[in-house]
Amino acid sequence: MTDTTSSPQGESAGPARRPLTISPHLAKRYARERLFRTLGLASVATAGLILLVLVGSIVSKGYSAFWLHHVDLTIEFSVDELNPDGGPIEMETLQKANYLGLVRDALKREFPDAASDRRERRKLYGLVSPNADIMLRNMVLNDPSLVGTTQTVSFKMSDDMDTFAKGFIDRDLPESDRRVTDAEIKWHDHFEAEGRVHVAFNIDFFTKGDSREPEEAGIYGALIGSILTLTVTLLVSFPVGVMAAVYLEEFAPKNRFTDLIEVNINNLAAVPSIVFGLLGLAVFLNFFGLPRSAPLAGGLVLALMTLPTIIIASRSALKAVPPSIREAALGLGASPLQVVTHHVLPLAMPGILTGTIIGMAQALGETAPLLMIGMVAFIVDVPQGFTDPATVLPVQVYIWADSPERAFVEKTSAAIMVLLGFLVLMNAIAVLLRKRFERRW
Amino acid sequence: MQTFIVVLALIGFAAIGYTMGRARAVMTAGGVPKDLHSLPSYYGSYTALWIGLPSLILLAVWMIVQPQIIDGLVMGGLPSDMTAGLSDSQFGLLLNDIRNVATGNISSRGDDPAVAAAATQLSSLRHTGFILMVVAVFGVGAGGLAFARNRISPTLRARNTVEKVINVILIISSLIAILTTVGIVLSLLFESFVFFTKVPFYEFLFGLNWSPQTALRADQVGSSGAFGAIPLFVGTLLITFIAMVVAAPIGLMSAIYMAEYADPRFRAFAKPMLEVLAGIPTVVYGFFAALTVAPFFRGAGESIGLDVSSESALAAGVVMGIMIIPFVSSLSDDVINAVPQSLRDGSYGLGATKSETIRSVVVPAALPGIVGALLLAISRAIGETMIVVMAAGLAANLTINPLEAVTTVTVQIVTLLVGDQEFDSAKTLSAFALGLVLFFITLALNVIALGVVRKYREKYD
Amino acid sequence: MTNTSVTTPDVDVAAKPPSVEQLANRYTKIESRDVNVYYGEKHALKHVDLDVYQNEVTALIGPSGCGKSTFLRCLNRMNDVIDICRVTGRIALDEHDIYDPSLDVVQLRARVGMVFQKPNPFPKSIYDNISYGPRIHGLAHGKAELDEIVQKSLERAGLWKEVSDRLDQPGTGLSGGQQQRLCIARAIAVNPEVILMDEPCSALDPIATARIEELIDELRENFTIVIVTHSMQQAARVSQRTAFFHLGDLVEVGETEAIFTNPEDSRTQGYITGRFG
């Protein structure tokens, strides 16, 4: 800087000792120094704060999705209702019986006065999940001896009631401003007072596919979809990526063509992911006729996307293996391919695997290209194979985030927590691998 | 699934061939493996390759060719009054119906006897085709085995042959990256070309009005649709600009602090933290933008009397900026670390403070690299999809007011292609034209940025 | 230093000169004629004619960058690894041209082994280091034979006593001198005819160096050895014949004793008396 304390040329006083004067500028310069430093620290702190807010907002919204409120109802498995035509009770009659009626009867018995008004009656029936009848049917089909008995059965509350029970809806608001009516609150309080409302772990969230009903919706389908898709991605991108890296790093002559490949790979790594989706749509779906919405097509698109990551990571891992190892093996009469497969590749493998895991983690979080090839469809069934329609975790997040129901916000956040959990796990493995096998030459 | 089993069976066959080849080689050498040119295992691999490669190639070709031949046969067998005068898409629908009936699904035309007959024919042809394929594929495999067995002798250079084949496979692997680029360019160009025959090129690039809804019926109101992409470009640039306003200073200052001030312990904590920020999927950022940041800005705006759209460019831009912070900081961190210590020492030696050294020596020296990093960040912001899909609007407003809703190129691509796609309508095809623009802009930015960064690296290496 | 003195007092020629009888029965193991090496545009080795005789140690000496290592690497075609490197001329091993396109370079390297400047054991166990070569060349039938080869090779390299109880330990855990002997044992295990050594002692301390030099002298009985060294004392101690390279030219070659006591070329004389290099 120019404003230094004093100019050395100015004083030609000879051997006389010059005092170390403190320039008036100096304090100012140090103040600027501190300011600059603080700005830097503040930037890092901002990034950290944002991360906290982000994770905090998601956890605070999502943690409650892992629990659901249930309500105990007294169900009379009356013969009249289940078998209105009389005659012997066959499995078939049980299959087709009106279980919804049982649930509604139970609710009507509970609140006889609510049954008069049609709108209120519908609200009353809506207290429990719309799938309550399917649950009852499965109970009876498993144990036909239930017919004719009276049982206390625990039902999932519907999404709005569950949200209320969790305390996310303020009961002091005017009725028109909240999603639950006064009557619904009254009913809830009635059950609550009798100790018939209880909280249970939402196991369905981890074992079921998507559903229109938030309380029935689970991420299992999307999870299996992600696993199938990533399997395709890994099976394609890992071998191809490693082989390409081995060729470029160990065998390729240095010429224009290999330069072109190299530039091309670097650029491919920075192409927007959505463009890969367009490629998948035009080439895999329209040209090769792969099935839409299938993990096969999705996995291939993600494989092309992760390929540059794996190639670049593998090349730097191969480059880190010292040439003396190659020379030693060559000098013993190993062929170039033997040198690579016996020595270089095993030594580079930790680095290659680390890169692969990081690439897979990127693929796991990728959404946009999969929207292009139809993996955004509403799919209830858990996919069974690589060509079944499927969705994946991040797309499930996207679908739920678009749903209007309040309860889906909590599901979305919970799905994000699961997704982030997997990402953390994968990255932890990568870090561990790097730490454990890192070799300094 | 059946094909998958055939592939597995072929691999099994090749594995058997491996052991046979090995044994054969040892036998021809009179039980003394030392007399062989290569290790016995190479003779095994040689045999396995001769079994596996030709048969797998045949299988792949067969899989591509068979459906087309069968489709031709089935459609040719239909009564001529049924196929006469059908357009390509109608033809495709009919074929689809037949396929559906054949796989046992219900179809709108399932009760048509001609369709039912065609479906039966299709199933039986498929069955025959499959049996023929299995016979042919295994026949070729057996031929390969016989040939390899014949060739095996102690002087056969099995290792060299096997290695040559593997070398070719390696080359093919590295060509896949090139093929991907070629595939991207060709598919975008092809579909865009079709689009530009429907919508003039200049209207797309310079039109001010974007409303891609084409009517289903010709007589419907507003059937033409407008494909002027300027509002999308402006929206994209606006959001990118906001993102860079957030990301550039924070990212750069973080990088400077981490590279120049932070002690190792702080780095060990802060670097992974930024990596976590970088590893969060964009769909999560989109959710964060739509559910937390946008309502926050809306509320803040209301409290000072501003009307902020709930899908404001500001919210999407700020969150995109957050996403890009780690990208900017890690790239800048690298370039700042590459500045030689001698330059800093020179400045300290003149009595400059640390911040003076950074501002007048380190940053200018690292400037090309920093510019490259920022260009890469811009390219990334332009191509980012999920945040804007979830937090920015759909309406193509031509505005530069960050409080209003704008739409971007990527948002439109997603909206145009999610749901029904018709590859003969301008609506679907316009997504590819947008994709083409996106691809070339990001490509240009990347090429420039990578070039700048590489030049910079060479300077200090 | 004056240039009048021809002998250098600090070089003592200890290696046994070949007897007359031996000289008469000399068998040319490697014959090179008009060998040129180009690295891209650079002409690194110019018209080299050099014979290597069986069961002798031939030392290649000369200042850095003179082409001695380049020549050594031509003898088992290690230069093939370098893309821009081009070799012309004829090098024959037992009268077979080693640059014949029909020759398998891998088999050549099994016959002409190599030991490098820096010890470069594989990051594997001592046992695996030695057994690797025999395995890829299919020299052993079963574990017992392989064990025998490993033991014999280590014994011949004088390392057996030191490592016999820790064969499963990584080879990289040995001391520098032991590592280099391990590399020699590894080369011997393939049972080559010629062993090329590229400054094998330059990374070692004097005691380890002395140990390796003894070893080289012992190995001469069974192998033909070509050694590149920057130390004239070492060349004088271990070799029977010495070749002096300068700026890509083979300046002079002859019996070691003769080269060190009575060089014909003034450049050789200058080098061995320490005027340059």
pLDDT of A105 reads 85
The secondary element (H helix, E strand) that includes residue C255 is strand C249-255
Quote the percentage of chain A above a pLDDT of 70.
93
Q: How confident is the model at residue A21 (pLDDT cuts 50, 70, 90)?
A: low
Average pLDDT over residues B223-229: 75
The secondary element (H helix, E strand) that includes residue B158 is helix B158-198
B249 touches chain A (CB under 8 A): yes
Q: Could you write out the DSSP letters of every residue in B292-352?
A: IIHHHHHHHHHHTT----TTBHHHHHHHHHHHHHHHHHHHHHHHHHTS-HHHHHHHHHTT-
pLDDT of C165 reads 92
Determine the distance in angstroms separating the CA of A303 from the nearest CA of chain B, rounded to an integer: 11
Main-chain phi, psi angles of C52, to 5 degrees: -115, 125
pLDDT at B100 over 90: no
pLDDT tens digit string along B255-290?
A: 999 999 999 999 988 988 998 899 999 999 999 999
What end-to-end distance do the CA atoms of chain C give, in Å?
A: 14
Q: Could you write out the DSSP letters of every residue in B387-437?
A: HHHHHS-SS------TTSB---HHHHHHHHHSS---TTSHHHHHHHHHHHH
pLDDT of B58 reads 93
Alpha-carbon span A376 to C151, nearest angstrom: 65
In chain B, count H helices and then E strands: 18, 2
* Residues B132 and B242 placed together within one structural domain of the fold: no
Contact B177 A264 (CB under 8 A): yes
- With the C-alpha atoms ordered B279, B282, B286, B291, is the resulting torsion angle positive or negative? negative
Out of A66-75, A180-189, B279-288, give the one with best mean pLDDT.
B279-288
User: CA B204 → CA B21, B41, B395, C55, distances in Å?
Assistant: 63, 62, 17, 82
ipTM surpasses 0.95: no
Average pLDDT over residues B302-312: 87
Contact B385/A273 with Cβ under 8 angstroms? yes
Average per-residue pLDDT for chain A: 86
A261 is a domain residue: yes
Alpha-carbon span B421 to B429, nearest angstrom: 9
pLDDT tens digit string along A136-168?
A: 888 888 888 888 888 888 888 888 888 888 888
Alpha-carbon span B448 to B290, nearest angstrom: 33
Alpha-carbon span B173 to B405, nearest angstrom: 45
- The closest alpha carbon to B324, from B332, B312, B313, belongs to B332
* Residues B144 and B250 placed together within one structural domain of the fold: no
A322 touches chain B (CB under 8 A): no
Pairing of strands C42-53, C57-61: unpaired
pLDDT of C7 reads 42
Contact list in C for residue B160 (CB cut-off 8 A) is: 104
Which tokens belong to A110? 């509970």
pLDDT at A2 over 50: no
Place of tokens 């804007």: B388
Contact list in A for residue C79 (CB cut-off 8 A) is: none
pLDDT at C11 over 50: no
Question: How big is chain A by its Cα radius of gyration, in Å?
Answer: 33
pLDDT at A217 over 70: yes
Q: How confident is the model at residue B208 (pLDDT cuts 50, 70, 90)?
A: confident
* Residues A291 and A373 placed together within one structural domain of the fold: yes
Contact B254/A47 with Cβ under 8 angstroms? yes
* Residues A189 and A282 placed together within one structural domain of the fold: no
Contact C138 B39 (CB under 8 A): yes
Average pLDDT over residues B436-458: 88
pLDDT at C9 over 50: no
Domain boundary among A168, A202, A236: A202
Determine the distance in angstroms separating the CA of B203 from the nearest CA of chain A, rounded to an integer: 23
pLDDT tens digit string along C63-83?
A: 888 888 899 999 988 887 777
Contact list in B for residue C190 (CB cut-off 8 A) is: none
Number of domains in chain A: 2
User: CA A61 → CA A50, A166, B7, B284, B310, distances in Å?
Assistant: 16, 12, 48, 13, 20
A287-309 burial by CB neighbour count: b if 16+ within 10 A, else e? eeebbbbbbbbbbbbbbbbbbbb
B295 touches chain A (CB under 8 A): no
Domain boundary among B132, B156, B180: B156
* Residues A265 and A331 placed together within one structural domain of the fold: yes
pLDDT tens digit string along A389-436?
A: 899 999 999 999 988 788 888 899 999 999 999 999 999 998 888 888
Alpha-carbon span B30 to A279, nearest angstrom: 56
Contact C138 B36 (CB under 8 A): yes
Mutation test of the interface with chain A: which of B63, B180, B319, B442, choosing the one with the most A Cβ atoms within 10 A? B180
* Residues B230 and B320 placed together within one structural domain of the fold: yes
Residue B222 CB coordination number (10 Å): 10
Mutation test of the interface with chain B: which of A3, A5, A6, A36, choosing the one with the most B Cβ atoms within 10 A? A36
Q: Which residues pair with A200 in a beta bridge?
A: A68
pLDDT at C209 over 80: yes
* Residues A186 and A247 placed together within one structural domain of the fold: no
Contact B62/B136 with Cβ under 8 angstroms? yes
Residue ranges making up the domain that contains A348: 220-437
Residue A436 CB coordination number (10 Å): 8
Alpha helices in C33-101 (DSSP H): 68-74
CATH assignment at residue B249: 1.10.3720.10
Alpha-carbon span C63 to C217, nearest angstrom: 24
* Residues B136 and B261 placed together within one structural domain of the fold: no
Average pLDDT over residues A334-355: 92
Main-chain phi, psi angles of C204, to 5 degrees: -115, 160
B201 is a domain residue: no
Question: How big is chain C by its Cα radius of gyration, in Å?
Answer: 19
pLDDT tens digit string along B353-373?
A: 889 999 989 999 999 889 999
HSE of B263, CA atoms in CB hemisphere, 13 A: 1
DSSP single-letter state for residue A291: P
* Residues B402 and B254 placed together within one structural domain of the fold: yes
Quote the percentage of chain C above a pLDDT of 70.
90
Contact C114/C195 with Cβ under 8 angstroms? yes
Q: Which chains touch B (3 or more CB pairs under 8 A)?
A: A, C
User: CA B116 → CA A84, A385, B66, B90, B97, distances in Å?
Assistant: 41, 28, 21, 18, 10
* Residues B237 and B105 placed together within one structural domain of the fold: no
Determine the distance in angstroms separating the CA of A350 from the nearest CA of chain C, rounded to an integer: 14
Bigger pLDDT: A277 vs B96? A277
C225 touches chain A (CB under 8 A): no
Q: How confident is the model at residue B327 (pLDDT cuts 50, 70, 90)?
A: very high
Bigger pLDDT: C250 vs B3? C250
HSE of A272, CA atoms in CB hemisphere, 13 A: 32
Contact B34 C139 (CB under 8 A): yes
* Residues B105 and B250 placed together within one structural domain of the fold: no
Contact C43/C66 with Cβ under 8 angstroms? no
DSSP single-letter state for residue A145: G
Number of domains in chain B: 2
* Residues B14 and B126 placed together within one structural domain of the fold: yes
Chain C window 17-76: which residues touch A at a Cβ cutoff of 8 Å?
76
pLDDT at B220 over 70: no
pLDDT of B228 reads 87
Q: How confident is the model at residue A81 (pLDDT cuts 50, 70, 90)?
A: confident
Max intra-chain CA distance, chain B: 96
pLDDT of C146 reads 92
Residue A230 CB coordination number (10 Å): 23
* Residues B271 and B140 placed together within one structural domain of the fold: no
Residue type, B384: E
Which tokens belong to B126? 């498929």
* Residues A180 and A261 placed together within one structural domain of the fold: no
* Residues A347 and A229 placed together within one structural domain of the fold: yes
Contact C176/C203 with Cβ under 8 angstroms? yes
Domain boundary among A174, A202, A230: A202
Find the range with the poorest average confidence among B27-41, B157-171, B364-378. Answer: B27-41
Contact A335 C106 (CB under 8 A): yes
Residue B352, C-beta contacts closer than 8 angstroms, at least 6 positions apart: A1, B360, B361
Contact A325 C123 (CB under 8 A): yes
B188 is a domain residue: no
Alpha-carbon span A329 to C121, nearest angstrom: 9
Which tokens belong to C273? 């008396």
Alpha helices in C37-94 (DSSP H): 68-74
* A319 CB burial (10 A radius; 0-12, 13-18, 19+): middle
Determine the 3-state secondary structure of B351 from DSSP. Answer: coil
Average pLDDT over residues A193-202: 88
pLDDT at C94 over 70: yes
* C176 CB burial (10 A radius; 0-12, 13-18, 19+): middle
CATH assignment at residue A305: 1.10.3720.10
By CA distance, what is C137's nearest residue in B? Answer: B39
* Residues A236 and A336 placed together within one structural domain of the fold: yes
Domain boundary among B109, B131, B156: B156
Average pLDDT over residues B295-315: 89
B63 is a domain residue: yes
Q: How confident is the model at residue B101 (pLDDT cuts 50, 70, 90)?
A: confident
HSE of A97, CA atoms in CB hemisphere, 13 A: 31
Contact A236/A300 with Cβ under 8 angstroms? yes
pLDDT tens digit string along A353-363?
A: 999 999 999 99
pLDDT of C8 reads 43
A326 touches chain C (CB under 8 A): yes
* Residues B24 and B138 placed together within one structural domain of the fold: yes
* Residues A226 and A259 placed together within one structural domain of the fold: yes
Bigger pLDDT: A255 vs B1? A255
pTM of the model: 0.86
* Residues A141 and A103 placed together within one structural domain of the fold: yes
Q: Which residues pair with C170 in a beta bridge?
A: C125
Residue ranges making up the domain that contains B14: 2-156
pLDDT of A161 reads 86
User: CA A98 → CA A83, A87, A101, A102, A133, distances in Å?
Assistant: 9, 16, 6, 7, 8
B177 is a domain residue: no
B382 is a domain residue: yes
Chain A window 243-282: which residues touch B at a Cβ cutoff of 8 Å?
243-244, 246-248, 251-252, 260-261, 263-268, 270-279, 281-282
* Residues A190 and A286 placed together within one structural domain of the fold: no
Domain boundary among A202, A228, A244: A202
pLDDT tens digit string along B396-431?
A: 888 888 888 899 999 999 988 887 777 777 888 899
* Residues A265 and A395 placed together within one structural domain of the fold: yes
Max intra-chain CA distance, chain A: 126
* Residues A178 and A73 placed together within one structural domain of the fold: yes
pLDDT of C6 reads 42
The closest CB to that of C104, out of B36, B40, B157, belongs to: B157
B169 is a domain residue: no
pLDDT of A7 reads 46
C103 touches chain B (CB under 8 A): no
Domain boundary among B156, B190, B214: B156
